[in-house]
Amino acid sequence: MSDPVVSRATRTSRIAVVVALLALIVLAAAPWWAGRADMRLMSEIFLYLSLASLWNLMAGYAGLVSVGQQAFVGFGGYMLFALTVFGGLHPIAAILLAGLLASALSVPIASLIFRLKGAYFAIGTWVVAEVFRLSFAQISALGGGSGSSLPVGIVRSLASSRSGREALTYWLALGAAAVVILSVYLFLRSQRGLALTAIRDSEVAASGLGINIWRTKLEVYVVTSALTAIIGGLIFLQKLRISPDAAFSINDWTAFVIFIVVIGGIGTLEGPIIGTIIFFALREFLADFGTIYLMVLGLVAIIVMLKAPKGVWGLVRDRFDLELFPLSYRVRLDQDRKKT
């Protein structure tokens, strides 16, 4: 009788790693083979993928269903402008510092909104985002309600040529997506990740096992807030202009992100990737149809929630037993392992 073997990696996950590395190399070389419009579109895809992965970590694993993450997207964007214009920092340094400031700011915010549960928590996060929007709209030095543009000198500090700046912002977006996905994966593989999974499955049982639920959720909220602010800084580094309505748009930075996660598969690492691909495919195909585009997005979301509550990837995973990111443990006989 063969001894059982417990492992996480599978043949599918090993193949996925090789494909992902090859894809990363090809995408990193995009400035030499892709056009300007293509690079801009791919940068947007990478940034939305990052936002979706972070929101999925909060809602899909920690149970923190926020509809106010645009607060930290806008905060990161405005800190980029403030720290470069008034602080004299290099844009990349300003974006990283914006992440640290967002993490510090998220602690008192969490101490307030964590008192709310369920729908009240979601509404609370939206109220916080609105407070952010109204507050930054009052800062005349940053353009007030009409916003402002990034000065030419700061833009040129990134690179001397336009092509160089576009390549740099593209690589920053690609690197951000890779770092976010890898960070979420490693976090879920750690002991903190196991605690988070236990909380997702049952808070009562997790509490009985000695897991500090409040502290674990706080850690997730602080980390996602910091990374979301960094992504926000990268978004407006590409746009080169910011305004309160654009920075704190609930449609652009929360509604679309929730759509991506829901149709892809909430509570899975693969879900945001699949959802991002579907979202941008629909957007590019229906971009010329005006409001019909939004109606189709809503219809797709309803159909997926009715027919595949776990999302597209959840449907694929349950049917074919696939897992690209090996998080769950699998038990099989040693002889089976030798055959594979």
pLDDT of residue 331: 61
Instruction: State yes or no: pLDDT of 2 exceeds 60.
Output: no
Name the pLDDT band for 329 (thresholds 50, 70, 90): low
pLDDT of residue 116: 92
- Is residue 73 within 8 Å of residue 51, measured between CB atoms? yes
DSSP output for 101-139: HHHHHHHHHHHHHTT--THHHHHHHHHHHHHHHHHHTT-
Span 185-212, average pLDDT: 82
Phi first, then psi, for residue 146 (nearest 5°) are -90, -15
d(CA 277, CA 261): 11
Contacts of residue 135, defined as CB under 8 A and 6 or more positions apart, other chains included, come to: none
Nearest to 44 by CA among 305, 295, 280: 280
Q: At residue 292, what is the residue type?
A: I
- Could you tell me how many helices (H) and strands (E) the chain has, helices first? 18, 4
d(CA 188, CA 322): 18
Span 331-336, average pLDDT: 56
Tens digits of residue pLDDT in 107-122: 999 999 999 988 999 9
Instruction: State yes or no: pLDDT of 334 exceeds 50.
Output: yes
Tens digits of residue pLDDT in 258-305: 999 999 999 999 999 999 999 999 998 887 777 788 888 889 889 998
pLDDT of residue 332: 62
Nearest to 62 by CA among 258, 198, 179, 226: 198
Name the strand (E) or helix (H) holding 99: helix 91-113
Neighbours of 245 (CB within 10 A): 14
Give the rounded percent of residues in the chain with a pLDDT score beyond 70. Answer: 94
d(CA 336, CA 340): 7
- Is residue 132 within 8 Å of residue 245, measured between CB atoms? no
Instruction: State yes or no: pLDDT of 338 exceeds 50.
Output: no
CA distances from 189 to 15, 51, 219, 275 (A): 19, 20, 15, 22
Instruction: State yes or no: pLDDT of 104 exceeds 80.
Output: yes
